[in-house]
Chains A and B, each alone.
Chain A
Amino acid sequence: MEALFEKIKTSEEKDKLMEEIDILLNSLFQNKGEAFSILLKTGVRAWLSEYIRAELAKDEANPFEYLKKIKEELNSFKALKLTLAFEPTESNIEKFSYAVKKYLGEKVVIEFSYNPTLIAGCTLTYEGKYRDFSMKSFFNSEFAKIKQDLFIQMAH
């Protein structure tokens, strides 16, 4: 399953994969199981279809148990919320994901959001912890230090 999880970098990808696994799981009980092979061809992405076929062919694994295991693993994934001042490119996403998986583990996905008021930098939220590395907070704290003197100067 590691090969499958390596492809999941963001929370949107995780949700998409979860949706596809749910479609396949439900299809196991439709038309006496015949819907499964049909939906494996028509209902999910090509790479996923190829991967699942290969895995099920190994050791004649039970499809229901296997898909259920994938779903449980996906549910155990944690999300790191990353708010940026710009919309990231594919290459940015790759780099961020690599760093996150390296330091926090394989089962962490990134939930990107965009807030231009941050100016630069980012804010991070992970397992209830919050860190603000944006230029906005830096400017606010620097301004707070000098605003008293600034107002006095402006008054004169």
Chain B
Amino acid sequence: MKDFDYYLNKIGEIGFVDEIVHSIAYVSGIPSARPSEVVIFEGGEVGTILSLSPESAEVLLLSRQVTKVGNKVARTGDLFQVAIGSGLLGRVVDPLAKPIDSAIPVKDVHLEPIDTQPHGIIGREPVKKPLETGVTLVDLVVPLGKGQRELIIGDRKTGKTEFLLQTIYSQATKGTICIYALIGQKQVDIKKRQEFLEDKKIMDKCIIVASSSSDPSGLIYLTPYTSMTIAEHFRDQGLDVLLILDDMTTHARYYREISLLARRFPGRDSYPGDIFYIHARLIERAGNYKRGSITCLPAAESVLGDLSGYVQTNLMAMTDGHVFFDIELYNQGKRPAVNPELSVTRVGHQAQTPLQRDLSRELMSFLVNYQRMQQFMHFGAEAGETVKSVLRLGAKVDEFFSQRQDEVIAINVNILILAGLWGGIWKEIEGIELKREMEQIVLTYQTDPAYKAQVDQLISSSPSFTELVQFLRQNDEIIVSKIRR
């Protein structure tokens, strides 16, 4: 971007700041200003025009430096654009796509507008390819597909961010471009995310777009739009992109602040009337396309497990499902604290193989039955053999689902272990011992290429879950030979 004097002489229009209300400046003059146009102040600060009235233009301030009343303003004649390109890979940038991790400038970039119309139906394709998160419970019960928009919702400190980082790790190692948008977060959290990606050596496949809570509201508001524009750039090259927006409830709060300062009429919970539109026009830009895909995982915070909040229900309406992190399960010590009964995936199953779909159905049916049995036992009734066997198996499945927050597990080895569990391989083994043996299988799969190939071949050749279980009952050495008892 050029300086103030350049635009003043080029456009030939000038305005003056009449009033500043936090992050909004009221500017008189600049008669030909357009909505969403970028303006530059004489001190070098930048803003974008929110709305126009006969007396003044309402400008949303985007710079950290504060402008003053009486300062001159010039139009740039352009809509808001950010510099994007492959040079952003491995970098941490702000919503203006300027690097904040170091002083090294970003190369190989070009300007793109951040606010574009979502694609129509032509050019889009149904979700067909699976997206492995590396989290057992999600991959088997609430599977995701590439191009899906899945809401990650739960109370604060229930493991949402850890799940998102596991997903990034799982996908980045498979070559997916991962973009992590941190919206209004603490500086220390931004640094921690960066360190996580660097420690896992996947930073070269990732971009972090971050705005901290101390940044101007306008800048925080732009964060997800900049991230989506970067995602679209890589999608247009035919690549699969994973975009994480952490989190959209914070984004809604900052937009509410901007709207109230701009004297917009408050609606429900004091949010402006266009809060749905603000998020929907962003989320709609994700999807599966003929060339490339953008899988969007927006995060949302609930309060005391209440899913009926305004912004939360808005986001649930505009996404293809949600993964619910239950605070009660978290307090019981379950990790991840995903509630499979309250989680939904609308398009994830169509990306699964017949085996996986069969497994999902059977597992879900079992979990519902198991939960019913557990509630039954609360009444202190005597349990028959059937109930006891369901409860025993259920406890083992709980053990199977529990996973460390820094661990990702491939879906094929999960299917193998679950089939082994169903086939009775671990009939006599429980608790920590069971977990240890399962981990041995996982470790062997991750470290022994021949074993990995054998397991992958077995899974891909099994037409259904039942047949796989039958096979393992008769040929359990594929599992047993890798366990040291």
One digit per residue, 1 when the CB lies within 8 angstroms of any chain B CB and 0 when it does not, for chain A 119-138 equals 00000010111111000010
One digit per residue, 1 when the CB lies within 8 angstroms of any chain A CB and 0 when it does not, for chain B 4-30 equals 000011001111000000000000111
CA of A28 to CA of B423, assembled, Å: 101
The answer to whether A128 and B13 have CB atoms under 8 Å apart is yes
Note all chain A residues with C-beta closer than 8 A to B74. Answer: 130
The residue in chain B whose Cβ has the minimal distance to the Cβ of A131 is: B12
Note all chain A residues with C-beta closer than 8 A to B14. Answer: 125, 128-130
Cβ < 8 Å to B, chain A residues 101-156:
125, 127-132, 137
Note all chain B residues with C-beta closer than 8 A to A131. Answer: 12
Q: Tell me whether B31 is interfacial, beta carbon within 8 Å.
A: yes
CA of A131 to CA of B9, assembled, Å: 7
The residue in chain A whose Cβ has the minimal distance to the Cβ of B13 is: A128
CA of A128 to CA of B14, assembled, Å: 5
Q: Majority SS of interface residues in chain A?
A: strand
Cβ distance B450 to chain A, nearest Cβ, rounded Å: 65
The residue in chain A whose Cβ has the minimal distance to the Cβ of B31 is: A128
Note all chain B residues with C-beta closer than 8 A to A137. Answer: 9
Cβ distance A146 to chain B, nearest Cβ, rounded Å: 18
The answer to whether A129 and B13 have CB atoms under 8 Å apart is yes
Q: Majority SS of interface residues in chain B?
A: mixed
CA of A70 to CA of B12, assembled, Å: 33
The answer to whether B12 and A129 have CB atoms under 8 Å apart is yes
Cβ distance B463 to chain A, nearest Cβ, rounded Å: 72
CA of A29 to CA of B22, assembled, Å: 40
CA of A89 to CA of B23, assembled, Å: 43
Note all chain A residues with C-beta closer than 8 A to B29. Answer: 125, 127-128
CA of A46 to CA of B245, assembled, Å: 71
The answer to whether B31 and A129 have CB atoms under 8 Å apart is yes
Note all chain A residues with C-beta closer than 8 A to B28. Answer: 128
CA of A125 to CA of B29, assembled, Å: 10
Cβ distance B40 to chain A, nearest Cβ, rounded Å: 13
Cβ distance A83 to chain B, nearest Cβ, rounded Å: 11
The residue in chain B whose Cβ has the minimal distance to the Cβ of A81 is: B14
Cβ distance B16 to chain A, nearest Cβ, rounded Å: 9
CA of A132 to CA of B12, assembled, Å: 9
CA of A125 to CA of B28, assembled, Å: 12
One digit per residue, 1 when the CB lies within 8 angstroms of any chain A CB and 0 when it does not, for chain B 61-94 equals 0000000000000100000000000000000000
The residue in chain B whose Cβ has the minimal distance to the Cβ of A130 is: B14
CA of A131 to CA of B8, assembled, Å: 9
Cβ distance A79 to chain B, nearest Cβ, rounded Å: 11
The answer to whether A130 and B8 have CB atoms under 8 Å apart is yes
Cβ distance B155 to chain A, nearest Cβ, rounded Å: 51
Of residues A125, A129, A130, which shows the largest number of chain B Cβ atoms within 10 Å of its Cβ?
Answer: A130
Cβ distance A44 to chain B, nearest Cβ, rounded Å: 30
CA of A132 to CA of B72, assembled, Å: 14
The answer to whether A128 and B30 have CB atoms under 8 Å apart is yes
Note all chain A residues with C-beta closer than 8 A to B13. Answer: 128-130
Note all chain B residues with C-beta closer than 8 A to A129. Answer: 12-14, 31
CA of A26 to CA of B8, assembled, Å: 43
Of residues B14, B15, B30, which shows the largest number of chain A Cβ atoms within 10 Å of its Cβ?
Answer: B14
CA of A132 to CA of B13, assembled, Å: 11
Note all chain B residues with C-beta closer than 8 A to A125. Answer: 14, 29
Note all chain B residues with C-beta closer than 8 A to A132. Answer: 8-9
The residue in chain B whose Cβ has the minimal distance to the Cβ of A141 is: B9
Note all chain B residues with C-beta closer than 8 A to A128. Answer: 13-15, 28-32
Note all chain A residues with C-beta closer than 8 A to B8. Answer: 130, 132
Cβ < 8 Å to A, chain B residues 36-80:
74
CA of A14 to CA of B32, assembled, Å: 28
The residue in chain A whose Cβ has the minimal distance to the Cβ of B27 is: A128
The residue in chain A whose Cβ has the minimal distance to the Cβ of B73 is: A128
Note all chain B residues with C-beta closer than 8 A to A127. Answer: 29, 31
CA of A143 to CA of B8, assembled, Å: 18
Note all chain A residues with C-beta closer than 8 A to B30. Answer: 128
The residue in chain B whose Cβ has the minimal distance to the Cβ of A127 is: B31
The residue in chain A whose Cβ has the minimal distance to the Cβ of B9 is: A132
Cβ distance A18 to chain B, nearest Cβ, rounded Å: 19
B-side residues, CB < 8 A to A, are: 8-9, 12-15, 28-32, 74
- 25 A-B residue pairs with Cβ-Cβ distance under 8 Å, sorted by A, are A125-B14, A125-B29, A127-B29, A127-B31, A128-B13, A128-B14, A128-B15, A128-B28, A128-B29, A128-B30, A128-B31, A128-B32, A129-B12, A129-B13, A129-B14, A129-B31, A130-B8, A130-B12, A130-B13, A130-B14, A130-B74, A131-B12, A132-B8, A132-B9, A137-B9
A128-B14, A130-B8 given; name 19 further pairs at CB < 8 Å: A125-B14, A125-B29, A127-B29, A127-B31, A128-B13, A128-B28, A128-B29, A128-B30, A128-B31, A128-B32, A129-B13, A129-B14, A129-B31, A130-B12, A130-B13, A130-B74, A131-B12, A132-B9, A137-B9
6 nearest CB pairs, A to B: A128-B29, A130-B14, A128-B31, A128-B13, A125-B14, A128-B30
